[in-house]
Amino acid sequence: MSTFQAPKGTYDLTPPRSATFLAVREAISAPLRDSGYGYIETPGFENVELFARGVGESTDIVTKEMYTLTTKGGDQLALRPEGTASVLRAALEANLHKAGNLPVKLWYSGSYYRYERPQAGRYRHFSQVGAEAIGTEDPALDAELIILADQAYRSLGLRRFRILLNSLGDKECRPVYREALQTFLRDLDLDEETRRRIEINPLRVLDDKRADVQKQLTDAPKLRDYLCDACKAYHEEVRALLTAAGVAFEDDEKLVRGLDYYTRTTFEFVHDGLGSQSAVGGGGRYDGLSEMIGGPELPSVGWALGVDRTVLALEAESVELDLPATTSVYAVPLGEEARRVLFGVVTELRRAGIAADFAFGGRGLKGAMKSANRSGARYTLVAGERDLAEGVVQLKDMESGEQSAVPLAEAAAELAKRLG
């Protein structure tokens, strides 16, 4: 055992469980790649001010959860707590919005960091797959992203998730609602920190999970009653497009998400098998974020789905993914000459696209066959001095137990034929 352990609230991904995480990332990204989204990768840390402006200075993410550091040159950096601000910053820096093909559609995958109280489904290091459609205001884009996420989850075999949907209005109608909500909240029995939040971003109070706070919010003014005609029409079109696509959703008028940049459409994917940490992903429209971080007006929409929580959701539903075999053929040499020859065969198989492994370390037949079993190999190739003298190798089907000698020169072709 090592002297060191993974930092509190983090985890290591090791085989065989890591294969499930890879499969989840692949399943989430596949519909995006098929829908015109290109891959983007950004640094693991950014200027602190990017998140303060973009995510919001009143959010728990910025005030309590960001990992920050000062470089030797005096720069203030933060480990990225979310992906949207970084992706938009990178797209602006690369002038992707000037290429004349809007929206700019991007997807990404990576690790994110928040200083939170560790518990099941909530870690200080977590992984997400995200998607952003930058530069176009169109309810069809909002619907497209929700549909693609729904498609990804269903392709994994998940069924017990729900989609919550709301509209947060825009710069025209939200200020009117904000004032009405502030007036209501100021009369409630709330702690000082929450009262400060009322003045900075009162919608965040609606997202407070404490029971004593939620009890007081029963008669809070409803945002839907303050939406302007344009926002109402936009939201109704999103709803109609989802319905026409056969994607079920639930209207949730209290859904505000945890970031300040959202406007109009906001949504969340929740899974009832995960307890208090039920959100597996979510997103929404952020039409003003580009201007917040110094860019031009670029209405945009996006989401991020948690890989960690998606895996937990699969486990809650007892869904077992059909994972590809890591090894199809396992070669067992008996003697130095067989070691040289079979290593060449393994190399040939790999070049032909066949997953093959080798009994390293000069183990005996019994130990090597145990390793072959543990690897999940469908076939083993065994050869000793007598086999080589006869120009053959022993090919064993690990499922049926049948074994036959095949000419050494034809071993790779025979395995390719059997494995299809």
Degrees to nearest 5, angle at CA 48 with 47 and 54: 100
257 is in an annotated binding site: yes
132 is in an annotated binding site: yes
Tokens of 414: 């025979």
340 is in an annotated binding site: no
Q: What's the gap between Cα 382 and its chain centre?
A: 42
DSSP string covering 19-71: HHHHHHHHHHHHHHHTTTPEE----SEEEHHHHHHHT-TTSHIIIII--EEE-
Residue of 326, 354, 325, 313 lying closest to 28 (CA atoms)? 313
Place of tokens 């049948």: 402
82 is in an annotated binding site: yes
67 is in an annotated binding site: no
**CA distances for 175 relative to 118, 120, 170, 182, 343, angstroms:** 36, 37, 8, 10, 70
Phi, psi of 144 (to 5 degrees): -55, -45
For residue 374, give the DSSP letter: H
Total number of residues shown for the chain = 420
193 is in an annotated binding site: no
115 is in an annotated binding site: no
128 is in an annotated binding site: yes
379 is in an annotated binding site: no
Which residues define the annotated binding site for L-histidine? 82-84, 114, 128, 132, 257, 261-262
Which residues define the annotated binding site? 82-84, 114, 128, 132, 257, 261-262
